């Protein structure tokens, strides 16, 4: 009986081994590679963890890359609008007269278009709102340039000097008056906060996240992040809004500006717009460098994951020749065991038992 029971146990083990090896041969993978590796199994676990981390970083990087691409597209369109207005300010400065009305009308349209671009959303998040990406960073264009909107308030600020007395722009164009008038308008675009109801941060920019605050970031590795800061209150955009708001007042009859005063305003607006364009070029270049680094990191992550997968395949993959040889050996052993068991079963003592 002991011999019979031992044979049965051996048969069960060999049948289990045969089933396991057959499964490994068909799948090409070891059924329990960690058991065969012993203490070296920690390497296998680390490789799997590296792949999971690499995939997570790659997905985050891909989404961030698409986000940066969308931002660059918007910046490209904003830059074209700035170039257009810079050219028009130079032409208006030469032609004067009716060209003031034309450029004022165009400035309002460009202002609306620029605001729409900076309110662009991607994947449900505002591109230029920083960490406050759940809301649009800028107020609507209609609210800004419509009747009774912010531009009307800007006109009132422009036509009143902040020196305690009202000074219509058309009454004087001497340096002191010009500086005072433009200074009153400049106060609306300071970065100290909503100092007045007509200020940039009080009316135009709505996001709680401002340029210079905690930057947006994307994970690019273990304990490493890529940071970028491109919000709708960037100095380049703020100066462009400043210039466009100035230009939008050139056809306002209530401003009562003389042609000399309009020329002063036009010069200031052109200077601001050209400066804004230069700042935008620098900002777009910095963002492009971040984007390029993100692409390089993505390529490195891809190579790292590929290398880890290759190592795992070496550790978990089966040797088809070895497995086939083991299966053949087991089949022979099983056949011999079956034969011996059959012969033992014919013994009289066995029959008796």
DSSP string covering 274-290: HHHHHHHHHHHHHHHHH
Could you tell me the fold of the domain covering 49-307?
A: f41 fragment of flagellin, N-terminal domain (1.20.1330)
Say what the pLDDT of residue 323 is.
74
Alpha carbon distance 213, 29 (integer Å): 51
Q: Residue 281: exposed, middle, or buried by beta-carbon count in 10 A (0-12, 13-18, 19+)? A: middle
What b/e string do you get for 216-225 counting C-beta neighbours within 10 Å, with b at 16 or more? Answer: bebbbeeeee
pLDDT in tens, the chain (353 residues): 666 666 666 777 777 767 777 776 776 777 666 666 666 677 777 777 778 877 777 787 788 888 888 999 999 999 999 999 998 888 877 777 678 888 888 988 898 899 889 998 988 889 898 888 888 898 876 666 665 566 665 555 555 433 333 334 444 434 444 555 566 667 777 654 444 556 778 778 888 888 888 888 877 776 778 888 889 989 999 899 888 888 887 776 655 667 777 888 888 889 999 999 999 999 999 988 888 888 887 787 788 788 888 877 777 666 677 777 777 777 777 777 777 666 666 666 555 56
Alpha carbon distance 69, 75 (integer Å): 10
Do 120 and 128 touch, CB atoms closer than 8 A? yes
Structure tokens at 248: 């939008």
Helices and strands in the chain: count of H runs, count of E runs: 11, 4
What pTM did the predictor assign?
Answer: 0.69
Alpha carbon distance 150, 153 (integer Å): 5
Say what the pLDDT of residue 200 is.
79
Terminal Cα distance for the chain, rounded: 8
What own/partner pairs with CB < 8 Å and gap ≥ 24 does 265-271 have?
265/158, 265/169, 265/182, 266/89, 266/92, 266/93, 266/100, 266/103, 267/93, 268/182, 268/243, 269/89, 269/107, 269/242, 269/243, 269/244, 270/86, 270/89, 270/90, 270/93, 270/243
Alpha carbon distance 84, 271 (integer Å): 14
What b/e string do you get for 310-325 counting C-beta neighbours within 10 Å, with b at 16 or more? Answer: ebbeebbebeeeebee
Do 47 and 311 touch, CB atoms closer than 8 A? yes
């Amino acid at each position: 009986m002991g011999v019979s029971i031992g044979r049965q146990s051996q048969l069960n083990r060999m049948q289990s081994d045969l089933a396991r090896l057959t499964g490994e041969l068909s799948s090409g993978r070891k059924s329990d590679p960690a058991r065969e590796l012993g203490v070296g199994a920690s390497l296998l676990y680390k490789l799997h963890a590296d792949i999971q981390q690499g995939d997570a970083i790659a997905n985050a990087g891909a989404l961030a890359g698409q986000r940066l691409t969308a931002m660059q597209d918007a910046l490209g369109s904003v830059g074209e609008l700035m170039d257009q207005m810079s050219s028009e300010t130079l032409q208006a400065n030469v032609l004067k007269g009716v060209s003031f009305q034309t450029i004022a009308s165009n400035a309002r349209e460009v202002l609306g278009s620029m605001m729409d671009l900076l309110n662009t959303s991607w994947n449900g998040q505002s591109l230029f709102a920083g960490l406050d990406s759940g809301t649009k960073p800028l107020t609507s264009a209609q609210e800004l340039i419509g009747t009774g909107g912010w531009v009307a308030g800007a006109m009132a600020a422009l036509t009143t000097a902040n020196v305690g007395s009202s000074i219509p722009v058309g009454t004087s164009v001497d340096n002191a008056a010009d500086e005072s008038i433009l200074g009153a308008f400049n106060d609306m675009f300071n970065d100290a906060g909503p100092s007045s109801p007509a200020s940039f941060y009080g009316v135009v920019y709505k996001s709680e996240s401002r340029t210079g605050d905690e930057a947006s970031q994307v994970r690019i590795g273990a304990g490493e992040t890529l940071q970028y800061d491109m919000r709708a209150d960037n100095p380049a955009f703020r100066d462009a809004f400043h210039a466009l708001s100035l230009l939008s007042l050139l056809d306002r009859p209530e401003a009562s500006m003389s042609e000399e005063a309009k020329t002063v305003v036009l010069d200031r607006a052109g200077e601001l717009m050209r400066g804004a364009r230069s700042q935008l070029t620098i900002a777009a270049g910095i963002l492009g460098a971040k984007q390029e680094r993100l692409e390089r990191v993505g390529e490195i992550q891809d190579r790292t994951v590929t290398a880890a997968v290759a190592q795992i395949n070496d550790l978990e993959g089966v040797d088809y020749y070895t497995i086939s040889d083991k299966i053949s050996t087991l089949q022979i052993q099983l056949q011999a065991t079956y034969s011996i068991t059959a012969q033992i079963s014919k013994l009289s003592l066995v029959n008796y038992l």
